[in-house]
Amino acid sequence: MIKILYSIIIPHKNTPDLLQRCLMSIPKRRDIEIIIVDDDSDSQIVDFNNFPGSNRVDVKTIFTKENKGAGFARNKGIKNASGKWLLFADADDFFLDGFLTTLDIYRGSDADIVFFNSTSVYSDSLLPANRHTDINSLINNYLDGKKDSQNKLRYMFYYPFSKMIKRDMVSSNKILYDEIKVSNDVWFAVRIGYFAKKILVDKAAIYCITVRDNSLSKTPGETIFDIRISTNLKVDKFMRKINVKNSHYPMFTYILQSRRYGIKKILKTTWLTIMNGSNIFLGLGRWAIDKFKTNKKFEN
């Protein structure tokens, strides 16, 4: 019996054509299982009789009716995975040609996480985008040996993709995604970064992130904002507990962003930050420098 080496988990909702594109980027191999978790897709959009991957023996599809989002779907995938390594993909993204050759270099590694670079494109046109640049900077800074780069890689590589993760490390420490509408991957990323005894980094790009105008990551709103604040406060509290500095999103940035929702939201965000024991001025210096540079640019 062939042992599963890689479990590739893909949450899906109402994007069957893009899911098919993602599946086509994954070669068929006997030691790979693909777990699609459909998050209560609309039957008016998705043809369930011809669901993507239904003609592939390496694809296991789990249909859920809970409608709890990508975090819930990824947790379902983890609980049903049998591979040595976990990899996560979004249904509207895809893997790059030859990515398995890169993964196979580390198939027997004693590392708990292996990080890789990414690329990004606009989903419709496939023209180059820049959504990958911040992620890749974490990789490149680590490879360049920059100060605090390992902690930033462990605790700020929030995205679930472009890394392979030991399943045993995840299961033994009971690490799961937050089942919230947005930022469900942040706490998971922080926890695996904390529990990983060894990490490795490869500069090769294995994954392409796509940009879509109607994607959830681009959806504004006060409720979304509140969820992001709550998540960041939880991470900030944990970072202080383990005495790791400058490895999370600064709360001062959220206080600035809260201005779009009025004075009450500014006061509430500030109060929550103080009550959490967080530093409300963390990020002020960076903001002042960026503001100064912007003003100088306009003056010139």
Q: Which of 64-68, 71-75, 251-255 has the lowest mean pLDDT?
A: 251-255
**pLDDT value at residue 246:** 75
Rounded Cα–Cα distance for residues 160 and 178 (Å): 12
Asked if 167 and 74 touch (Cβ cutoff 8 Å), the reply is no
CATH architecture of 6-214: Alpha-Beta Complex (3.90)
Task: Please name which of 110, 108, 205 lies closest in space to residue 161, comparing C-alpha atoms.
Answer: 205
Q: pLDDT tens digits for 156-209?
A: 999 999 999 999 999 999 999 999 999 999 999 999 999 999 999 999 999 999
Asked if 87 and 199 touch (Cβ cutoff 8 Å), the reply is no
Rounded Cα–Cα distance for residues 286 and 166 (Å): 36
Q: Any idea which residue has 């210096």 for tokens?
A: 285
Q: How many CB atoms lie within 10 A of CB 85?
A: 23
Rounded Cα–Cα distance for residues 80 and 90 (Å): 17
Q: pLDDT tens digits for 240-272?
A: 999 998 777 788 889 999 999 999 999 999 999
Q: pLDDT tens digits for 119-164?
A: 999 999 999 999 999 999 999 999 999 999 999 999 999 999 999 9
Rounded Cα–Cα distance for residues 53 and 23 (Å): 7
**Residue-range domain boundaries for the chain:** 6-214, 222-299
